[in-house]
Amino acid sequence: MKNCTEKKSEHLNCSIRQILDRFGDKWSILIISTLGHVGKQRFNELNQQIGDISQKMLTVTLRSLEADGLISRTLYPEIPPRVEYELTDLGRSLLPHIEQLALWAEQHMETILKNREKYASQKVS
Amino acid sequence: MKNCTEKKSEHLNCSIRQILDRFGDKWSILIISTLGHVGKQRFNELNQQIGDISQKMLTVTLRSLEADGLISRTLYPEIPPRVEYELTDLGRSLLPHIEQLALWAEQHMETILKNREKYASQKVS
DNA sequence: CAGTATCCTAGAAGATACTG
DNA sequence: CAGTATCTTCTAGGATACTG
């Protein structure tokens, strides 16, 4: 890993590396975005909402998001137990940027896929 | 993978999955951002600029970005050969959003790291 | 219900050597 | 210089079974 203090000019690169480190995994962004739309939600509700996440990864990702203060976890000590997850203010502050990226995807992903096909077919010839 | 056409309400989730699929790897975003700042750049220059990327991953990532039309590759058939990489308009259109995320990281990453420490120390007790 | 605890695997990424 | 071509490693993530 590059030493991020070496040059002023690398501050941006360094921030990007931090973003990738934190949110470059498979589920963090998706969970934040989901909680952003539906608001408060229980473990199994999230599980179903996302659909193709394993129980393990849901647990692991929720824990790490909680550890970083991006979501809050509230346990209601009933039987059976109820646990509700919710974005914190910090987590919510990330939402607009995620939505910007999603919007960019909506606008450009079709072009990208077409480019990709064209490139692949050129490779053949 | 979820079927992204099943519900209107899942369009956003779906776009986010596309973003993660395309840019969730280790180097794409970093290369785009680097080319965004320095402009046109040669293979070995990029290699040095980034510092800790392997030759293989630089090649692989540049190829996939080129295939998707996010960067352009210009070969000058000299000896020794010279190759220059540059963002396309499509690639450049992504820059502001990357910078927004980087800015968010600059503003909040310290808090996140502190939260993480606090959480870890609570775990011990 | 909301998780742990294990085991296991695919594939992303790295190291190294070679080349037009 | 700007790459291939192999081989290897590593770990994120998944599958499954169990539990307070």
List of chain A residues with pLDDT < 50: 1, 8
Token readout for B99 is 């910078």
Query: pLDDT digits over B10-35, tens only?
Result: 788 999 999 999 999 999 999 999 99
Q: Which long-range contacts (CB under 8 A, 24 or more apart) does B54-62 make?
A: B57/B26, B57/B27, B58/B27, B58/B31, B61/B25, B61/B27, B61/B28, B61/B31, B62/B31
Check which CATH number belongs to the domain holding B31 and give it: 1.10.10.10
pLDDT at position B122, please?
86
Which residues on B lie below 8 Å from A111 (Cβ)?
69, 90
Partners of A71 in beta bridges? A87
Residues of chain B with pLDDT > 90, as a percent, come to: 86
Angstrom distance (rounded) from CA B83 to CA B28: 18
Residue corresponding to tokens 């369009």: B11
Q: For B89-113, write each residue's pLDDT tens digit.
A: 999 999 999 999 999 999 999 999 9
Q: Can you give the pLDDT at residue B11? A: 85
Whole-number Å distance between alpha carbons of A8 and B122: 35
- Asked if pLDDT for residue B1 goes beyond 50, the answer is no
Residue A3 forms part of a structural domain = no
Does B81 reside within a domain? yes
Would residue B71 count as lying in a domain? yes
A112 and B90 within 8 Å at the Cβ level: the answer is yes
Is A68–B105 a contact, with Cβ atoms under 8 angstroms apart? no
In a domain, A102, yes or no: yes
For residues B40-64, one letter each, b for 16 or more C-beta atoms within 10 angstroms of the residue's C-beta and e for the rest, the string is ebebeebbebbeebeeeebeebbeb
Query: What pLDDT sits at residue B105?
Result: 97
End-to-end Cα, chain B, rounded Å:
40
**Residues 22-41, chain A, touching B (beta carbon < 8 A):** 22, 24-26, 29-30, 33-34, 37
Residue span of the structural domain in which A98 resides: 26-124
In a domain, B43, yes or no: yes
Instruction: Give the global pTM.
Output: 0.94
The confidence band for B5, taking pLDDT boundaries of 50, 70 and 90, is: low
Q: Which bases along strand C come within 7 Å of a protein CB atom?
A: 1-6, 12-17, 20
Residue B3 — pLDDT band, cuts 50, 70, 90? Answer: low
Residue A100, chain B, CB below 8 Å: the answer is yes
Is A54 within a domain?
yes
Whole-number pLDDT of residue A121: 92
Q: In what order do the strands lie in the sheet with B82-87?
A: B41-42, B82-87, B71-76
Amino acid in the structure at residue A36: G
Closest partner residue to A90 among B2, B25, B108, by Cβ?
Answer: B108
Residue B2: the pLDDT is 53
Q: Which residue has the tokens 């990357």?
A: B98
CB A82 within 8 Å of CB A42: yes
Average pLDDT over every residue of B116-121: 95
Q: How far is the CA of B80 from the C1' of D1 (A)?
A: 5
Query: What was the pLDDT predicted at A123?
Result: 72
User: For chain B, what is the mean pLDDT?
Assistant: 93
Q: How many domains does chain A have?
A: 1
What pLDDT does A1 receive? 45
